[in-house]
Amino acid sequence: MNIPYRDDIFLAIRTIRKTKMRSFLTVLGIIIGIVSVVTIVSIAKGIETQVSNQINSIGKNLIVIRPGRINQNNSNSLINSLNTLSNANSSSSLSQADLNSVASTGSIAESSAINVVNGTIKTNQGSFSESVLGTSNQFPSVINQQLAYGEYFNSSSTDIYQAVIGQNLAYNLFGERIPLGQSFTFHGQTFIVRGIFNKFNAAPLSITADYNNSIFIPYYTAEALTNSTAPINEILAKANTNNNIEGIVKTINKNLLTLHGDQQDFTVLQQSQSLAITTSVLNSITYLIAIVAGISLLVGGVGIMNVTLVSITERTKEIGIRKSIGATNYQILIQFLIESSVLSLFGGLLGVILSFLVDYIIGATTSLTPLINLPILVIAFLLSLTVGIVFGSLPAFKAARKDPILALRYE
């Protein structure tokens, strides 16, 4: 780097160190802007990572069939579809016939429908309204999930009122960590807890139900309780291969279309798509907050511009001296651009430090796991640098064009 510019950097840093309070107040807007950008992006990044971890643990060969049509090109309708999906009361366009069709597709090893049974659960701790899902025996294997304790339904048992619970419910419903053998009543029947799932790798915003807060009962029990009226929330199917999942999805879609009289009122998804959906939902949220962040960066930039303009008037004499000893206009311009950039980067640095703190608090108090990675830091750096250069240029041009005579006469 050219030598005087390196000096300018050191001088700018020295000035900030000498005028800490003033510099801090100047860059407050930048700090707020950078904190919002970094926090939002890191939360999004965290969710994305959680979703992709979930996919990896479930397996790439899982195919999900959902009622309703999801338009993947439009993020707004995506959010709407997500809302309807999470609504267990929605009537489903999927039927037992669909499950049979899926199960009989070549390359599908195992499958399970998930029926939603509404109702209130009563335990000795009180009443709850957790979601109760009817599944087949193959469910744990389809989604690649082990039980922590006990076993999944034993179909040879004559007792059809058995249940397996998600990990979070153990304490919430029964007040103990391993409530094996405990009972609850649902639709007038007494169910015995036979197993407890390992913790699911649940990702916020993901389109799968929150299995950690669900109760699983056999599908035939669900049918018995509801006279076969429990809507199918989704059908899960596991291919016996990781190759050509796309082809299998197409085959399933074709078969189901025939069953549905050519009505595309369902959607066949593979895991990579569920990541895409999450990402696009996140993107639309991120854009929104980016505007807010942009505004605070704008305010921060104007703050820097204002302070630099004042400082240039204060330092008119300095500019005159510098020019008299041979500084070119360009060298003066660069000096002031460097000063505003260093100031802005200082704000960016404080913003990043604060973001780590904010993310730590978010991680500790919510189910989100914000993730600050190198690209986010690079974005923060470039953003602050840009603000410094953009809002520093007007003052810097003014400084560079000062007439040395007037600058020297200035008192």
- Give Dmax over CA atoms of the chain in angstroms: 103
**Gap between the Cα atoms of 211 and 168, Å rounded:** 9
Question: Which residue's CB is nearer to ligand ADP, number 25 or number 406?
Answer: 406
Alpha helices of 266-373 — where are they, by DSSP H? 271-314, 316-324, 329-365
From the list 150, 204, 294, 404, which residue makes contact with other proteins (rule: CB under 8 A)? Answer: 404
Which of ligand ADP, other proteins, none does 68 bind, CB closer than 5 to 8 A by kind?
Answer: none
Residue 262 vs 411, nearer CB to other proteins: 411
Q: From residue 349 to residue 388, what is the string marking binding to ligand ADP with x (rule CB under 6 A)?
A: ----------------------------------------
Site for other proteins in 322-341 (CB under 8 A): 322-331
- 3-class SS shares of the chain: helix, strand, coil, % to 5: 55, 15, 25
382-411 binders of ligand ADP (CB under 6 A):
405-406
Write the single-letter amino acid at 61.
N
- Smallest CA-to-CA distance from 163 within 145, 176, 148, 150 is with 150
Contact 380, 294 (CB under 8 A): no
Alpha carbon dihedral 229, 232, 233, 239, in 10-degree steps, equals 160
User: Least separation, in Å, of the C-beta of 404 and other proteins?
Assistant: 5
Tokens representing residue 262 in the block: 């050519």
For ligand ADP, the closer of residues 320 and 370 by Cβ is: 320
Q: Tell whether residue 261 is a contact of other proteins (CB under 8 A).
A: no
Query: Minimum distance from CB of 398 to ligand ADP (Å)?
Result: 18
In the 3-class helix/strand/coil scheme, how is 55-94 assigned residue by residue?
HHHHCCCEEEEEECCCCCCCHHHHHHHHHHHHCCCCCCCC
User: Nearer Cβ to ligand ADP, position 59 or 404?
Assistant: 404
- Does 105 bind other proteins (CB under 8 A)? Our answer is no
DSSP type of residue 194: E
Question: Where do contacts with ligand ADP occur on this chain (CB under 6 A)?
Answer: 405-406
Q: Return residues touching other proteins (CB under 8 A).
A: 2-4, 6-7, 11, 14-15, 18, 317-318, 321-331, 404-405, 408
